[in-house]
Structure 1
Amino acid sequence: MKKTVTLSLGALAITAMTAPLAADTFTLRVGSGHPNGPAVYVTDTAKFFVPEVVRRVAAETDHEIEFVEGYGGAIAGVAETLEAVQNGILDIGAFCMCFEPAKLFLHNFPYYAPFGSEDSAQAITAVRSVYNDVPWLEEQFKSEYKQELLGLHGWDNYHLGTTDPWDTVADLKGVKVGGAGPNLPWLEFAGAIPVQSTLPDGYLSLQTGVYNGWLMFPSAYLGFKFHEPAPNYTLVGFGAMPVNALTMNSRTMASLPEDVQAIIREVGAAYEAQSGDSLNAAQKRGLDGLVAAGANVKSLPAEARAGWAESLVGFPQQQAAEADSRGMPGSEVLKAYLAAAEAAGVEWPVAYAVQ
């Protein structure tokens, strides 16, 4: 009996030594306050980042990744995602930095120089250059919020949709217009009344008269069906805004095998690299869709746009000084952005300058 048991255990040992090791499966929670579909950066998270990480980890490592996906505020709202990643409620979060006006004040620098590039690929090139030149930006995510930036994304070219038609900028005086926050100062020149809001609230607020306009890019204006309560869409060209981030909890990242970490970072970079073309395509679909849906789409005359831009000529300096006063490298970042945008081919309608 004793001899039989010994042989059996030996056979088991040999089998264990020759059999392949079982792959580890890691489950990660990923989410966003915006929904998958109308928000391009969320769609790219769900349809590009997530499946590409799953595919590459399975193909290139001995491990597997499974994602629990929670978009549209299922796990964290638009103003809660940064904190959800920091606290580990989410392992990976996609969010607009515009909804963190205090904590991520300086990361919203594209908003502080409007009327820039209307091409998202060009805009993302300029913004990535700033992140490369000013390490403080990425370091803030790590040191203050216990997460790392995997990739940037953005919004396509901003325009203005309204419930009622208008012909001149003067017609907007006293009109309540919704926006994300950092872009609301754009409305001061027109004398409009800025109202802080979010995309999920837009349709009902336009329908019920909480406000009568929205600073919004074509992809979302069509995607959220804002053209139904506000069918007048004026092409102003405030510019494409790369102000969205895909981040990952630092502790979660460190807990993964190094080969898996490398793949996640590489796919995050690829997510950013494809974002400009993805946004440009969505912008075209949005404009074409608005026209097809019967929206009143027209362009703001060039002279009116130039006047609007001139009214904001001091905005970059103002915001740079504000960031400096908060102990952030505001002037460094805004100077770098203006230079990077020009290097990318942007022709500003006004001579922005930062001291």
Structure 2
Amino acid sequence: MMKKFKPALLVALLGLFGASAANAENIRLRIASGHAAVNTYVNLMQNFFVPEVTKRVAARTQHKVEFVEGYGGSMVKLADTLEGVQSGLIDIGGLCFCFEASNLPLNAFQVMLPFGTMNSETSVKLARAVYDKVPALSKVFEDKFNQQLIALISDNGYNIGTTFEWNNISELKGKKIAGAGLNLKWLEYAGVTPVQSTLQDGYTSLQTGVYSGWVMFPSAWVNFKFHEVAKNYTEVGFGAITWHGLTINKNRMARLPKDVQAIIIEVAKEYEAKTGTVNQENYAKQIAQLKTLGVNVKSVPESVKLEWANSLKDWPQAMASDLDARGMPGSLVLKTTLEEAEKMGHKWPVRYVIK
């Protein structure tokens, strides 16, 4: 025989279930990047971060998340992603600090120490170790730009692709070679003519002779089809650089249910690690692919790498001093990076000295 609920108990239970249903939210998040999904980190935003957050929120909470995605500049341009998240135009953004030289000068610190590790997985772990030791690197996003840095993003290792074959630095002097942000200094100090550019402009610019090469990782040479117009790819070993990030608007994050916040942070941490592992796995595959596509792939001898590193030996100190003078912990960050890299087994061709 079914027991009868007392009226007061029935009202309480109905109230409980009603409150639960009322607390469930349908959440819409706008996620974007100025780079297209052909970029590894954007591809992982689209095919890992978005589906994993969506799936885990559905499985572990009473809420539902729907992402509105905009890549390749459809919502924000390359140099406007930081401001897009800051203003709330988008909720989550993937950006390169290379386009924020005035806003985030310190966050490009790995670029200031060329010839670092070529292992993308190590690079992102190294960056995370430095961020953990120097909180100012993360706090700048919150204090100045109304957003929270939830993941660091590594690239492939940087080398040089060109329309011509070369064997030593003297053959590059006076040539116009493209780059982005501070990696242009790698060229300038070696006597090469640097040209600021973007990946979207690369194919046409190489084809028409606006410049004759790019400081670039192999994934771009494959994915953006630069190999069709520049048939030489030289492994110089400038380093795999972690100088991108994934951020979320602080106000939007604060309005999300706590369990959804926790899932976003959880997935972002996994996403961060994946940018390292996927780029590292892809590097050898992409080098091999370039060879099958008819590209002349070779490595410079250690003597060339040493000569290039020596041309840059005073630049890290100059960068550290400039950042210190502007009220940022430049020397601390670069010293910490040098030391943490060595703890991870890296040997610098020239050991930069930061006073």
The Cα of 1:16 is off from its aligned counterpart by 7.1
Cα distance in 2 between the residues matched to 1:167 and 1:53: 48
- Given the alignment of the two structures, is residue 318 of structure 1 paired with residue 318 of structure 2, yes or no? yes
Q: Unaligned 5+ residue runs, structure 2? A: 1-9
Q: Percent identity?
A: 49
Deviates more, 1:62-71 or 1:14-23: 14-23
The Cα of 1:125 is off from its aligned counterpart by 1.3
Question: What does the per-residue CA deviation read over 1:81-126, in whole Å, with 9 as the maximum and x for residues that have no partner?
Answer: 0110001111000011111111110000000000010101111111
In the superposition, relative to structure 1, how do residues 312 and 14 fare at CA in structure 2: closer, same or farther (>3 Å)?
closer
Alignment of 1:1-355 (within 5 A): 21=21, 23-37=24-38, 39-355=39-355
Deviates more, 1:203-212 or 1:185-194: 185-194
Question: What does the per-residue CA deviation read over 1:51-74, in whole Å, with 9 as the maximum and x for residues that have no partner?
Answer: 111011111111011000000111
RMSD, aligned CA: 1.6
AA partner of residue 29 (structure 2): L
Question: What does the per-residue CA deviation read over 1:169-191, in whole Å, with 9 as the maximum and x for residues that have no partner?
Answer: 10111100100111011112432
SS of alignment partner, residue 346 of structure 1 = coil
Contact 1:148 1:250 in 2 (8 A): yes
Cα distance in 1 between the residues matched to 2:331 and 2:189: 24
Q: Which residue pairs with 1:6 in the alignment?
A: none
AA partner of residue 327 (structure 1): G
AA partner of residue 215 (structure 2): L
Contact 2:155 2:275 in 1 (8 A): no
Cα distance in 1 between the residues matched to 2:67 and 2:288: 34
Residue correspondences, number: 344
TM-score (norm 1): 0.94
Q: Which residue pairs with 2:4 in the alignment?
A: none
AA partner of residue 28 (structure 2): T
Contact 2:190 2:311 in 1 (8 A): no
